[in-house]
């Protein structure tokens, strides 16, 4: 498959101190939605800013649609669209005026621009509100306007940095529909960053997990889940003697008791092992209160590679205590 993006040893060190992106290598195939999954501060925005020419890499390079980041930056700007993490549209202007402004930035001839603007407004379902100030839009509408702005120059590659950050669940899944249809209708490559597992799982054809500026693992979501080599069967037993008997079940990779008191059985493939397990339980007169099967989720993939839960509270000083301590 032809690559749309090839990143080579890309590194960004801020102020000679903070290594925000650390020797990243990536190959992204043409026409796919590629997810970059990572917590806050992982280096996602820094990577996007380098790839869109907003900041210069400290070292390394990348090719976007064959153009070299360090030499063809103007050309790259023409063929890429970007929807940055923070809003770029102007609340004091209407939706339509915002799009006109972007068209001017790209020197798009007026007639062509007006036609594109109408098409884009229809596409993101903002045509009826095109003359309203953008500040009166809901969060989801405003993001849709940003999406339209990112498409104004008919890019080959579209970068979406945390496109649904801070939106509620319904609005987020509504935006996913637009992102999916953009990729399909325009047949462009989309690079999407997110710290929402469900978003990356839902949208991305392939993904990388990024942590502390490094790519830890890449692949399709099913591949990554499969790489964990195993499903989890959890059983709730009546007593410890049942647990002792269960320990001799041969088809498990691992059997252990977890904090809740449940027994966690790791198996290679629950579809195959479950019938064996049922037979074993009945033969040994073990009758669990419940049996639960879990296929590996992207959640567990993230924990496996980073050692942390993506939704874990990030360390933050106890501001309330510091505040009250000053009384």
Ligand X SMILES: Nc1ncnc2c1ncn2[C@@H]1O[C@H](COP(=O)(O)OP(=O)(O)O)[C@@H](O)[C@H]1O
- Positions that interact with ligand X (CB under 6 A): 14-15, 18, 20, 38, 40-46
In the complex, least distance from residue 46 CB atom to ligand X, rounded to whole angstroms = 3
Nearer to ligand X, 41 or 288 (CB): 41
In the complex, least distance from residue 194 CB atom to Mg ion, rounded to whole angstroms = 10
Which contacts (CB < 8 Å, 24+ apart) does range 209-212 have?
A: 209/37, 209/38, 209/301, 209/302, 209/305, 209/306, 210/24, 210/36, 210/37, 210/38, 210/42, 210/43, 210/44, 210/47, 211/38, 211/39, 211/42, 211/305, 211/306, 212/22, 212/42, 212/43
List of residues 6+ apart from 7 with CB closer than 8 A? 24, 25, 26, 27, 28, 51, 60, 62
Among Mg ion, ligand X, none, what does residue 11 contact (CB within 5–8 Å per kind)? none
In the complex, least distance from residue 51 CB atom to ligand X, rounded to whole angstroms = 12
Phi, psi of 216 (to 5 degrees): -90, -35
Q: According to CB under 5 A, which residues from 125 to 164 bind Mg ion?
A: none
Interaction of residue 45 with Mg ion, rule CB under 5 A: yes
Cα distance between residue 149 and residue 164, in whole Å: 16
Nearer to ligand X, 116 or 194 (CB): 194
- Strands 59-64, 290-294: pairing is unpaired
Among Mg ion, ligand X, none, what does residue 288 contact (CB within 5–8 Å per kind)? none
**Nearest in space to 210 (alpha carbons), one of 161, 247, 273:** 161
Q: List the structure tokens of 205.
A: 């054809």
Among ligand X, Mg ion, none, what does residue 106 contact (CB within 5–8 Å per kind)? none
Nearer to ligand X, 42 or 69 (CB): 42
Nearer to Mg ion, 48 or 267 (CB): 48
List of residues 6+ apart from 278 with CB closer than 8 A? none
Interaction of residue 116 with Mg ion, rule CB under 5 A: no
Helices first, then strands: H and E counts in the chain? 12, 14
* Contact map string, positions 79 to 98, toward Mg ion, x by CB under 5 A: ------x-------------
In the complex, least distance from residue 159 CB atom to Mg ion, rounded to whole angstroms = 12
Cβ-based neighbour number of residue 224 at 10 Å: 24
Interaction of residue 46 with Mg ion, rule CB under 5 A: no
Q: How many residues bind Mg ion (CB under 5 A)?
A: 3
Among ligand X, Mg ion, none, what does residue 43 contact (CB within 5–8 Å per kind)? ligand X
In the complex, least distance from residue 104 CB atom to ligand X, rounded to whole angstroms = 28
Nearer to Mg ion, 15 or 290 (CB): 15
| Interacting residue ranges for Mg ion, rule: CB under 5 A | 44-45, 85
């Amino acid at each position: 498959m032809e690559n749309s993006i090839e990143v080579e040893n890309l590194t960004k060190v801020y102020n000679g101190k903070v290594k925000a992106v650390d020797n990243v290598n990536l190959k992204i195939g043409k026409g796919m939605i590629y997810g970059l999954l990572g917590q806050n501060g992982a280096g996602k925005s820094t990577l996007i800013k380098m790839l869109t020419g907003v900041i210069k890499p400290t070292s390394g390079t990348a090719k976007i649609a064959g153009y070299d980041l360090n030499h063809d930056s103007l050309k790259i700007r023409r063929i890429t669209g970007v929807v940055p993490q923070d809003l770029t549209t102007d609340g004091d202007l209407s939706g339509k005026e915002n799009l006109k402004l972007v068209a001017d930035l790209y020197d798009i001839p007026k007639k062509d621009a007006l036609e594109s603007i109408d098409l884009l407004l229809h596409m993101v379902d903002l045509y009826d509100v095109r003359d309203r100030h953008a500040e009166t839009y809901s969060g989801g509408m405003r993001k849709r306007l940003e999406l339209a702005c990112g498409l104004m120059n008919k890019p080959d590659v579209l970068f979406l940095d945390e496109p649904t950050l801070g939106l509620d669940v319904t609005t987020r899944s509504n935006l996913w529909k637009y992102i999916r249809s953009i990729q399909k209708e325009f047949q462009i490559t989309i690079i999407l960053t997110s710290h929402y597992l469900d978003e990356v799982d839902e949208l991305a054809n392939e993904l990388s997990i990024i942590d502390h500026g490094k790519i830890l693992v890449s692949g399709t979501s099913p591949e990554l889940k499969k790489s964990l080599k195993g499903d989890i069967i959890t059983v709730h037993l009546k007593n410890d003697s049942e647990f002792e008997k269960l320990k001799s079940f041969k088809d498990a990779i691992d059997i252990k008791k977890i904090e809740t008191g449940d027994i966690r059985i790791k198996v290679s493939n629950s579809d195959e092992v479950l019938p064996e397990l049922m037979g074993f339980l009945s033969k040994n007169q073990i009758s669990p209160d419940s049996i639960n099967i879990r296929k590996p989720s992207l959640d567990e993939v993230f924990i496996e590679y980073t050692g942390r839960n993506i939704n874990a509270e990030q360390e933050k000083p106890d501001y309330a205590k510091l505040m009250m301590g000053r009384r």
